[in-house]
Structure 1
Amino acid sequence: MPNEDIKIFGGSTGKSFAQKMCDYLGIDLGKSEVFKFSDGNIFVKICETVRDHDVYLVQPIGLNPNDEFTEILFWMDAFKRASANSVTAIIPYFGYAKGDKKDEPRVSIRARVCAECIELAGADRILTMDLHSPQIQGFFKKPVDHLFALPILCEYVKSLNIENLVVVSPDVGFAKQARNFASNLQVQVAIGDKTRKSHDEKAKVLEIIGNVKGKNALIVDDFSISGGTLVDLANGLKERGAQRIFALVSHHMLSRSGAEKVENSPIELLISTDSVLNESIISNKTKIVSVAPLFAEAIVRIHNRESVSSLFDSAPHTVYKKSLD
């Protein structure tokens, strides 16, 4: 367990996640305040001393990415100016990770810009989960600990006791991660052939590679906003003879209209994590599994200068059990 040198704080949309981490560790959440003025300006304030302490700030870059990203910068600066010993930015969902490449002329590599800004503001370390592209870790010069929701999500899927299951990737790009899910669940993989013609959130599933007839399907992806790909793929699976349809995403980014699509689709259950504060979406088809215990265990290892990867080599069963409670 951590000693008194650890202090965990939560940003405006990271406070509930930070509180879950503190509850797991048996420590108090750091006192802080965030104000947003009528002109949109953001003001952050630390309400207790952090001098010579190791500080962990929890804030996803999720449903309000510009405000949340800006707030992280202000927090990093505030902690450094308050003489914190070290500052770790805990970003359960790094929303700008989608901007990971320059694949057409005159565009910004947004993830790299965000990484540099967070470091320049004062972050000594970054802790995140299920990046859209793992190579984004290379955009940072500071250490990055990249966690995976897969073990916890798979434990929940196993608890459902779904027979004759097949894992389905929405496209070739996610096929490697889909194989990792399939390997953990000891089932086979099918792959959707998806195309996207523009930068909007509309993609079309053209074909499904693999045998799904008579099987129960689990669609896996890192996130979904519009729900279009999940629903199109679910309909395609039904047309090809699949029985029950489930979906699993690491980050619960669904919009209200997206949630309605899922609600009216063949998908029986959408499984996700609490990496993003998305309280506006309430559905009987949604199951949220907490990854706060996973992050809490990670910062204990970071603080004690132990291996974070040991969480996945021989992850403590108590972490998974606490997440599923």
Structure 2
Amino acid sequence: MLLAGSANPGLARAIAAYLDHPLHQGETLRFSDGNLFVRVPTNVRGRDVFLVQGTAFPVNDNLVELLFWIDALERASAASVTAVIPYFSYAKGDKKDEPRVSIRARVCADAIEAAGADRVITMDLHAPQVQGFFTIPVDDLYALPVLCDTIRAADVPDLVVVSPDAGFAKKAKRYARRLGAPLAIADKERSDHTESATVVDLIGEVRGRTALIVDDFTVSAGTLTDAARVLVDRGAAAVLALVTHAPLTEQAVERLAASPIERLYVTDTVEAGPVELTDRIEVVSVAGLFGEAIRRIARRESVSVLFD
């Protein structure tokens, strides 16, 4: 059974279309005091339920709704509950890197398990080690093949792949290898929690090339736009950007509009947000990846081919 919460209705419909399988839309009510109420629309007793519910904007509402859905399905005697979380927003909180702070991703993982989830399917976790916070199976899918196919179809000339910081260099190298392009790495400094960072240096040659900045997510677009300006200063002929998750703010859209980035490619893991996307932002669907993962899990087949 495929069930959709309120966070990703469009992606859920696309997954259902890929699978040629009925989609059940759950009932979610928001009361005036901020309380949430969810109700499963049909009998799920003895069924394997795949629940599509991300944790993008509004993050905390969607996270709590996810927990309520899992609990409701467990109490309705579902045989298993697989939480399909296209964007796991708290994945960045994967460590205690300063005094007296919470490891937020671990708290969320514990809550999802405590609610009764049997498995999690997600995409491009900011920190892959978050999988280890769960004791249940976690499939962390890669948007890379779909996004790379989009870039190939655009027939971009003289491409160079750019990592926005050293931490993403290993993943950026996979993009470069798949696209048959060289790799450059920006050096970024972050001094606080204001969702902004400064690009201070660039390793690699971009002069006369089309630079493609790749990243797993962006909220403020500060790193992307800073990197884009450095790339233009270093002689890049054009700048594109490619990001899996884009829970963009109003400030981010303004920054992108004023930046040298000609086009930003994002996936449909994030649907709702405080701002409308502009024509400069192109949304690429990853419904096929999630659909194939669901199909293989339901049939008790290997999903490892999706990571190849």
Range class of TM-score, shorter chain:
over 0.9
1:297 to partner: Cα distance: 0.6
User: Is structure 2 residue 70 aligned with structure 1 residue 76?
Assistant: yes
Give the Cα separation in 2 of the matches to 1:282 and 1:118: 31
1:278 to partner: Cα distance: 3.4
Give the Cα separation in 2 of the matches to 1:86 and 1:15: 21
Q: Which residue of 1 aligns with 2:35?
A: 41
Q: Report 1:117-156 matches (<5 A).
A: 117-156=111-150
Question: Are the equivalent residues in 2 in contact too, given 1:10–1:16 (CA < 8 A)?
Answer: no
Other structure's SS at 1:16 match: helix
Deviation string 1:215-242 (CA, Å, 9 cap, x unpaired) is: 1100001111111111111011001100
Give the Cα separation in 2 of the matches to 1:31 and 1:257: 33
Q: Which residue of 1 aligns with 2:26?
A: 32
Question: Are the equivalent residues in 1 in contact too, given 2:7–2:272 (CA < 8 A)?
Answer: no
1:31 to partner: Cα distance: 3.8
Q: Structure 2 residue aligned with 1:59, among 53, 73, 93?
A: 53
Q: Which residue of 2 aligns with 1:98?
A: 92
Q: Which residue of 2 aligns with 1:308?
A: 303
Q: Structure 1 residue aligned with 2:234, among 219, 234, 240?
A: 240
Other structure's SS at 1:103 match: coil
Q: Structure 1 residue aligned with 2:287, among 283, 286, 292?
A: 292
Q: Segments of 4+ in structure 1 off by > 3 A?
A: none
Other structure's SS at 1:48 match: coil
1:14 to partner: Cα distance: 1.9
Question: Are the equivalent residues in 2 in contact too, given 1:21–1:296 (CA < 8 A)?
Answer: yes
Unaligned runs of 5+ in 1: 1-6, 314-325
Other structure's SS at 2:120 match: strand
Deviation string 1:136-155 (CA, Å, 9 cap, x unpaired) is: 00000000011000000000
Deviation string 1:98-139 (CA, Å, 9 cap, x unpaired) is: 100001111110000100110010100000000001110000
Q: Which residue of 1 aligns with 2:191?
A: 197
Partner AA of 2:91 in structure 1: A
Give the Cα separation in 2 of the matches to 1:290 and 1:227: 21
Give the Cα separation in 1 of the matches to 2:263 and 2:241: 6
Question: Are the equivalent residues in 2 in contact too, given 1:100–1:112 (CA < 8 A)?
Answer: yes
Q: Structure 2 residue aligned with 1:88, among 74, 82, 85?
A: 82
Give the Cα separation in 1 of the matches to 2:25 and 2:143: 28
- Structure of higher RCO (CA pairs closer than 8 Å, 6+ residues apart): 2
Give the Cα separation in 2 of the matches to 1:19 and 1:193: 40
Partner AA of 1:57 in structure 2: L
User: Is structure 2 residue 174 aligned with structure 1 residue 188?
Assistant: no
Q: Report 1:215-234 matches (<5 A).
A: 215-234=209-228
Q: Which residue of 1 aligns with 2:256?
A: 262
1:12 to partner: Cα distance: 1.1
1:72 to partner: Cα distance: 0.7
Give the Cα separation in 1 of the matches to 2:245 and 2:236: 25
Q: TM-score, normalised by structure 2?
A: 0.98
Question: Are the equivalent residues in 1 in contact too, given 2:5–2:25 (CA < 8 A)?
Answer: no
Matched-pair identity in %: 54
Give the Cα separation in 2 of the matches to 1:61 and 1:286: 21
Question: Are the equivalent residues in 1 in contact too, given 2:56–2:62 (CA < 8 A)?
Answer: yes
1:199 to partner: Cα distance: 1.0
Other structure's SS at 1:30 match: strand
Q: Which residue of 2 aligns with 1:317?
A: none
Please tell me the root mean square deviation across aligned C-alpha atoms, in Å. Answer: 0.9
Give the Cα separation in 2 of the matches to 1:202 and 1:275: 22
Partner AA of 1:179 in structure 2: K
Q: Report 1:139-178 matches (<5 A).
A: 139-178=133-172
Give the Cα separation in 2 of the matches to 1:312 and 1:124: 21
1:83 to partner: Cα distance: 0.6
Question: Are the equivalent residues in 1 in contact too, given 2:96–2:102 (CA < 8 A)?
Answer: yes
Length, aligned pairs only:
307
Q: TM-score, normalised by structure 1?
A: 0.93
Question: Are the equivalent residues in 2 in contact too, given 1:31–1:48 (CA < 8 A)?
Answer: no
1:294 to partner: Cα distance: 0.9
Give the Cα separation in 2 of the matches to 1:218 and 1:234: 9
Q: Report 1:2-21 matches (<5 A).
A: 7-21=1-15
Question: Are the equivalent residues in 1 in contact too, given 2:186–2:200 (CA < 8 A)?
Answer: yes
Other structure's SS at 1:191 match: strand
Question: Are the equivalent residues in 1 in contact too, given 2:11–2:268 (CA < 8 A)?
Answer: yes
Give the Cα separation in 1 of the matches to 2:135 and 2:278: 41
